[in-house]
Amino acid sequence: MKLLRIAGVIPLDRFRLRLVLTDGSTVDRDVEPLLVGPVFDPVRDNRAVFQSARVEHGTVVWPNGADLCPDVLIWNGPPREGIPPLVTVAASQR
Q: Which residues pair with 59 in a beta bridge?
A: 56
- 55 in Cβ contact with 61 (< 8 Å): yes
What is the model's pTM?
0.78
pLDDT of residue 87: 47
pLDDT of residue 83: 52
pLDDT of residue 76: 78
Taken in order of first residue, the domains within the chain and their CATH numbers are 6-93 (3.30.2020.10)
pLDDT of residue 63: 96
Rounded Cα distance between 59 and 9, Å, is 9
Q: Which residues of the chain have pLDDT under 50?
A: 86-88, 94
pLDDT of residue 47: 97
